[in-house]
Amino acid sequence: MLYALCPDCHHKWRLHLDRPLPKSGSGSYVPCPVCSCKRAIAHPELPELAIGHLDCDAFYASIEKRDRPELVDQPVIIGGGHRGVVATCCYVARKYGVRSAMPAFKARELCPDAVFLKSDMKKYQREGYRIRDMMRALTPDIEPLSIDEAFMDLTNAMETHGKSAAECLIDLQNTIKREVGITVSIGLSYNKFLAKISSDLNKPFGFSMIGRREALDFLADKPVRMMWGVGPAMERKLHADGVTTIGQLQEMDIHTLQGRYGSIGKRFFYFSRGEDNRRVEQSTERKSLSSETTFNEDIASLSELSEIAARLTSRVASDLARKEIAGHTVILKLKSSDFKLRTRNMRLTYPTLREDVILDAALTLLKKEIDGTRYRLLGVGVADLYDADMADPVDLFAGDIAAITDDAAQSDAITPETPRTVIDLPRPTAEQLRESLTRRYRQHKKKIARQQRFRF
């Protein structure tokens, strides 16, 4: 028996089928018997599933098409420029094989008629936060993954809104389309891993569910790349071991997986069986902040690269001040003309948000990389983030030096007849001096608590 819900007329009913519905295990679309809508959702566990994943469909491109209706039917690519990479592209462009992070020249070869647009991050962030506010109206338990996607825990939806999680998410999906003017896809399941997978099943403007009963069978024939945490390198390693599907991981015990792949093998064991006990965290730690640019022509000159680094550092410092955070490690990123990436970092004495301190460290790192190599990309950033009130401690000796200078000036003005007052103070010990130098930093050291990503 399946529970069904129509997104248009909100009709709810039960139906019996002798075969599974296509696309997403036991859950997919069915026609509504009342309004004939073909997007009614159905699943045997529909009232029970409560972990959702919302993902905006081709977010940047959708925003641009909304604001420029003449581009609705055209292939639109955001980013790229002369030598950059694709930030995102619409679904029309994807039919030609264009994908995010693809070099711009390759995207032009695949889709010569595409419209390339510069990204407008301020506009995208504004719309992203607008969507996030709509999500918070449903539940405070939101875990953003990026500006255009987030997890939601709707376990208490019935008590709070008098509706199931599925009903709340359908309403949210329709509200975003009506008020923001773009579409989003929703995945609903009993944990984060499967919720994220299900949101990709029926894009764009999709709503998919994966329940406990079909999780094992659903995952069995899926490629290992679908598992969270499996990138190109790990995929190659798994393929070299003869593991190409998640079903093959289901047949292995936890000790075998851990022995071969280390701690990530434990994750493979649980995820392959549809198990994920990570909670939806209301906030996640930001690990770094950076700015980078791709050049129109390769550059090898230190003076030119230093000038660009100064501009990037200015942006980073401005962002740090606006977000009221500071970085303890400065990171330099360089990409050579043959696409080889160099990443260098320098740990500072204390967290900082000062532009001159960050630039000085970045230039120190940059000078070591000037060896005749021509670079096509330069980035400057900071990591190991702290609260701004922990940054740039006051120089404890600055006041003493000023005081000594003033005393010297005053002593010159003292005549021989003026009695001199001498105060005999004991000299501080080395331990007392060390204590005074580090007191402010230690008292206010409240580094952001790191989220435990996998709680197995």
pLDDT of residue 268: 92
Q: Is 48 a catalytic residue?
A: no
CA distance 456 to 450: 16
Q: Which of the two residues, 370 and 404, has the higher pLDDT score?
A: 370
pLDDT category of residue 303 using cuts at 50, 70 and 90: very high
> How would you class 302 by CB atoms within 10 Å of its CB: exposed for 0-12, middle for 13-18, buried for 19 or more?
middle
For helices 254-261 and 263-272, angle between their N-to-C axes, nearest 10 degrees:
140
Q: Is the per-residue pLDDT at 415 higher than 70?
A: no
Q: Is the per-residue pLDDT at 359 higher than 90?
A: yes
CA distance 130 to 147: 10
pLDDT tens digits, residue range 33-80? 888 888 888 888 999 999 999 999 999 999 999 999 999 999 999 987
Three-point CA angle 335, 337, 338, nearest 5°: 95
What DSSP string runs through 29-62? EE--TTT--S-EEEETTTTT--EEEEEETTHHHH
For helices 165-179 and 121-136, angle between their N-to-C axes, nearest 10 degrees:
150
First to last CA, the chain: 34
- Average of per-residue pLDDT across 295-304: 90
Q: Is the per-residue pLDDT at 387 higher than 90?
A: no
Q: Is the per-residue pLDDT at 400 higher than 80?
A: no
Q: From the candidates 143, 149, 167, 214, give the one annotated as an active-site residue.
A: 149
pLDDT tens digits, residue range 157-184? 999 999 999 999 999 999 999 999 999 9
Q: Is the per-residue pLDDT at 450 higher than 80?
A: no
CA distance 211 to 194: 9
Supply the pTM of this predicted model. 0.70
What rounded mean pLDDT belongs to the chain?
Answer: 84
pLDDT of residue 446: 47
The rounded percent of the chain whose pLDDT value lies above 90 is 52
pLDDT of residue 33: 87
